[in-house]
A and B are shown apart, each in its own frame.
Chain A
Amino acid sequence: MTNLPEESAPPPLDMDELKRRRKSSARVIALLLVGLVVLIYLITLTRIGVPQ
């Protein structure tokens, strides 16, 4: 009995790592969104400029 491992609560989250990941993900998502908006704007301009 004494050799059985004690049940313990899951270890606390590494808050620094969590913050770091959230920050870096937010930066990447923001960059992707800006890129997407620019791309859609350029596609729209190009498509309108092409005679049908």
Chain B
Amino acid sequence: MTATVLEIDRLPADWRDFVALTKPRVMSLVVFTGLCGLIAAQTKMPLVLAFTAILCIALGAGAAGALNQWYEADIDALMKRTQGRPLPAGRMNRQSALHFGVGLSFFSVLLLGVATNWLAAGILAVSILFYVLIYTVWLKRRTPQNIVIGGAAGAFPPLIGWAAATGSIAPLPLLLFLLVFLWTPPHFWALALFIESDYAKAGVPMMPVVAGERSTRKQVFLYTVPMVVCAITPWVMNLTGAIYGFTAAIFSALFLILAARVAQRTTQADDAMKPEKALFKFSILYLFVLFAALAADRLILL
């Protein structure tokens, strides 16, 4: 067994490991929200430049993911969910991950700046730095508020998409930024509630580990309320059409119901944590559907 591990360690990392380093599953949501931000801007942007902008958002997110895995290799090795990643599994050395992350960061920012504009490139650079320095290095191991503030990093893509298309910032992309920002705590705390022991083992001060389960459940609901307000505001302010408005209203009501169910519960012995899992899954669907409705609203209007 040991011989096999040593043998794998001495081989160069496979290209699939570099792909895994970019957290492709997280990237899909980032790309989608970035694309919808770009579509929402309603400009006649050349297809090549639009494609490049989305590619750069994806590469920037991948770079941030790689740097995050480079820094967190020690705690990733302690959690079941992350043990199979290239670094804790010994399929890649840390230096390769660092070089890959830094290189990809510079490349994505420069390409975005050259292809579209430097405002979009600047926001992309800020989002990478925010995710790596503020969230990963500074907050994650220090405070249970880690994902509240760190959530801002994941909220940048719609803003980048809009800025790439228009060269400016407007109220709608700022509201979209705020929506993703406020969506992050209920999304991650729902996850943290049913994988609490894993975070505790790694010493990550997630809310359920530090403040306890009851407080976390309450806070899930407390963040859901302003998130719902933020989701509906673009329609109320007449920044979007009815497709988005009705979708946001219906899905936000469902989100509120699921969050209320989580808030009212206490974990029993051998609890399957179904409401928490349901909220976590629904939260992903929620963001996809709302952004899809926003894009549909714009594309139908065109």
Chain A residues within 8 Å of B, Cβ to Cβ: 10-11, 13-14, 17-18, 21-22, 24-25, 28-29, 39, 42-43, 45-47, 50
B292 within 8 A of A: no
CB < 8 Å A-B pair total: 39
Q: Is the interface of B mostly helix, strand, loop or mixed?
A: helix
Residue of B nearest to A22 (CB): B12
B3 within 8 A of A: yes
Residue of B nearest to A24 (CB): B15
Which residues of B have CB within 8 Å of A24? 14-15
Given A39-B52, A43-B48, A46-B46: A10 and B6 interface contact (C-beta under 8 Å):
yes
Which residues of A have CB within 8 Å of B114? 43
Which residues of A have CB within 8 Å of B7? 11, 13-14
* Closest CB in chain B relative to A33 CB, distance in Å: 13
Which residues of A have CB within 8 Å of B3? 11
Instruction: Determine if A18 and B11 form an interchain contact, defined as CB atoms under 8 angstroms apart.
Output: yes
Residue of B nearest to A27 (CB): B15
- Assembly CA distance A14 to B6 (angstroms): 11
- Assembly CA distance A43 to B116 (angstroms): 9
Instruction: Determine if A13 and B48 form an interchain contact, defined as CB atoms under 8 angstroms apart.
Output: no
